[in-house]
Amino acid sequence: MKFWKPKKQYYHEIAPDEILLDARNLPQFNTQQMEGRIEQPIPHRALNIIFIVAFVFGVGGIFRLGYLQISKGDYFATRSEKNSFESVPIFADRGLITDRNGVNLAWNEKLKEGEAFSKRIYTNEGGYAHMLGYVGYPKKDASGNYWQTQFTGKSGVESYYATQLEGTHGAKYFETDATGKVLSENITEEPVHGTDVVLSIDARVQTALYHGIEKLATDAGYTGGAGVIMNIHTGEVVAITSYPEYSSNVMSLATDNEKISHYFTDKRKVFINRAIAGRYTPGSIVKPYLALAALNENIINPLKQILSTGQITIPNPFDSTKNTVFKDNAAHGLVDMRKAIAVSSNVYFYEIGGGYKDQKGLGIDRINQYAKDFGIGLKTGIDMDGELAGVVPSVEWKAKNFPKDPWRIGDTYHTSIGQYGFAVTPVQMARAMAGIASRGTLVTPHIRLNETDPELTKTEKLPFTDAQYQVVHEALRMVITDGTSESLNLPYLHVAGKSGTAQTDISKRRVNSWITGFFPYEKPDYSFVILMDDGSGTAYIPASRAMRMTIEELYTTAPDFIMQKGLPVKAN
């Protein structure tokens, strides 16, 4: 009896390449690579076990993934955000703003240790606020994150040249865990400083001009004033200022609420840049332009004399039994063109503007056109935000504004002396005077030095002869030596100019005062204009006084600027 049963034998066919294989590896075989061995097949049981284990882990992984993604998805998303890479800006400084001589007008300083960005600091000298403007700083939200990272130019150079002044911010990246703990940090982007802006402004001239305007406003009770001094050959503005003004430092920091509130409630309208956005009745400063127009149109010979008895009269258009009277500022007697400009005779310009008896006049259409040829009433294109155009009265203008009242000869008379609806800005008149001073080149005012923008360097030629300019030049010099602005007859600088006065209310108790002109007279380089806004008509001190104070200060602080070829000029 057999107690064991032999195992069933299984045989498989031996492949031909296995016949000669030895069960023992030969020395030359790489045993690590299983060379020379007869490999044993993996048992089916082992494969089944591996499959079962993989299946169990796979099902478990699916359930776990569902738990994390569906049941706990929001929780872990929030946790992931808290435990992630974050960044904070590294603020770049804005470019400096300097005058033509390298004097800093706006720069950057860290006022407190640990501040994220530098504060903008502006010169404390008066007269720069409207030109430079101010900035708004980056702002944080309630969580302490910056929602506004840029410095915002609010006005003036800070606004107009914001793209150039702005730097490129850098960034600091860091990793935090879910509790906010910083795990690591590094700077991957360095900030790039903004580009400096060099202005054509001469700080010495700017300061002196502002001081002259400020002092006259204080002494004579003017509400405000503005002034411009400009190179007649290039259009470079060496001074442009407006009074009263705000503090650029106060407006940028925006922490002194009381002072800022006062700016907004000040009846003098502190935020108006009167030099480019103040529109004023020009009065008699338009007379030189009418004189050139009359010469060019052969309306009158410059030597012809017109009698001023103090007024002219014409029939009243509403009552034929009465006359309408147009008054002069005085009874000047016989005046030719030079003297008419020097003493500012209204009668003379009534007649060459609108015509009277046998004297032909330009007429309103030609007055309007010649004024616009000089850029009067039009924007100059200066590189400052907020410039306004003006008004030169015309038939069309009156029809639009007073549709029931036709144009009358009296409207032409008033327009001829810079009244009626006439409105101009100081910068327009500085540009127009540069056209006279240069004998025919109308430049574009700009405040950046070495400007290359073709829109800011373009010029226009005016249609007058040298002989015609000579008449007006001589007349403007007579204004200073023998006319209405003798306060500017200085021994060290020959000035040519024209004054003007315009009433600002019906009672004529408030006036605007103008002085405009150029210097040096013999070889002009600069045109100028000063407008004094809303002064007393009874205690009247003319704008020429402000220009005199400006020149006197420059004689001390910047003699090289006002001396003709560096040498004093003998007085007449």
H helix or E strand, kind and range, residue 16: none
User: What is the C-alpha separation between 344 and 502, in angstroms, rounded?
Assistant: 13
pLDDT above 70: percentage of residues in the chain: 82
Q: Which two tokens stand for residue 32?
A: 């690590």
The reported pLDDT for the residue numbered 64 is 64
Q: What's the full length of the chain, in residues? A: 572
The reported pLDDT for the residue numbered 185 is 65
The reported pLDDT for the residue numbered 319 is 82
More reliable by pLDDT, 22 or 441: 441
User: What is the C-alpha separation between 360 and 364, in angstroms, rounded?
Assistant: 12
Reduced to 3 states (helix: H, G, I; strand: E, B; else coil), residue 158 is helix
Q: Which two tokens stand for residue 530?
A: 């000063």
User: What is the C-alpha separation between 294 and 302, in angstroms, rounded?
Assistant: 9
Q: Report whether pLDDT(34) > 60.
A: no
The reported pLDDT for the residue numbered 162 is 95
Contact, 374 vs 435, CB < 8 A? yes
Nearest CA among 9, 528, 450 for reference residue 229: 528
Using alpha carbons, list the distances in angstroms from residue 342 to 81, 469, 549.
Answer: 80, 15, 22
The reported pLDDT for the residue numbered 143 is 77
Contact, 475 vs 488, CB < 8 A? no
- Span between the terminal Cα atoms of the chain, in Å: 160
The band of 77, judged by pLDDT with boundaries at 50, 70 and 90, is low
In three state form, how does the secondary structure of 194-215 look? CCCEEECCCHHHHHHHHHHHHH
Q: Quote the DSSP letter at residue 328.
A: -
- Over residues 221-278, the pLDDT tens digits come to 999 999 999 999 999 999 999 999 999 999 999 999 999 999 999 999 999 999 999 9
H helix or E strand, kind and range, residue 314: strand 311-315
pLDDT above 90: percentage of residues in the chain: 70
The reported pLDDT for the residue numbered 113 is 84
The reported pLDDT for the residue numbered 516 is 98
Nearest CA among 103, 98, 96 for reference residue 558: 103
**E strand spans, 132-246:** 135-136, 139-140, 146-148, 152-153, 170-176, 182-189, 197-198, 224-231, 237-243
- Over residues 395-451, the pLDDT tens digits come to 999 999 999 899 999 999 999 999 999 999 999 999 999 999 999 999 999 999 999
The answer to whether the peptide bond before residue 315 is cis (omega within 30 degrees of 0) is: no
Beta-bridge mates of residue 312: 326
Q: Report whether pLDDT(499) > 70.
A: yes
The answer to whether the peptide bond before residue 403 is cis (omega within 30 degrees of 0) is: no
Find the DSSP H helices in 230-332.
248-253, 257-265, 274-277, 287-296
Nearest CA among 428, 415, 444, 430 for reference residue 372: 428
User: What is the C-alpha separation between 174 and 337, in angstroms, rounded?
Assistant: 79
Contact, 280 vs 376, CB < 8 A? no
- Of 60-64, 166-170, 287-291, which range is least confident? 60-64
Q: Report whether pLDDT(63) > 90.
A: no
- Of 83-92, 106-115, 284-293, 525-534, which range is least confident? 83-92
The reported pLDDT for the residue numbered 65 is 64
Reduced to 3 states (helix: H, G, I; strand: E, B; else coil), residue 131 is helix
Instruction: State how beta strands 333-335 and 306-308 pair.
Output: antiparallel
More reliable by pLDDT, 141 or 467: 467
Average model confidence (pLDDT) across the chain: 87
What's the whole-number mean pLDDT along residues 364-384?
97
- pTM listed for this prediction: 0.82
What's the whole-number mean pLDDT along residues 348-377?
96
Beta-bridge mates of residue 229: 239, 528
Domains of the chain: 85-198 (3.90.1310.10), 203-246+269-562 (3.40.710.10)
The answer to whether the peptide bond before residue 406 is cis (omega within 30 degrees of 0) is: no
Contact, 154 vs 180, CB < 8 A? no
Neighbours of 394 (CB within 10 A): 21
User: What is the C-alpha separation between 279 and 6, in angstroms, rounded?
Assistant: 124
User: What is the C-alpha separation between 68 and 76, in angstroms, rounded?
Assistant: 8
User: What is the C-alpha separation between 514 and 284, in angstroms, rounded?
Assistant: 9
Nearest CA among 353, 477, 487 for reference residue 411: 353
- DSSP code string of 492-560: S---EEEEEEEE-STTS-EEEEEEEEEESSSS--EEEEEEEEEEESSS---THHHHHHHHHHHHHH-HH
- Over residues 173-217, the pLDDT tens digits come to 777 665 556 656 666 788 899 999 999 999 999 999 999 999 999
Contact, 130 vs 245, CB < 8 A? yes
Instruction: State how beta strands 97-98 and 197-198 pair.
Output: parallel
Q: Report whether pLDDT(91) > 70.
A: yes
The reported pLDDT for the residue numbered 181 is 67
- Over residues 306-332, the pLDDT tens digits come to 999 999 999 888 887 889 999 999 999
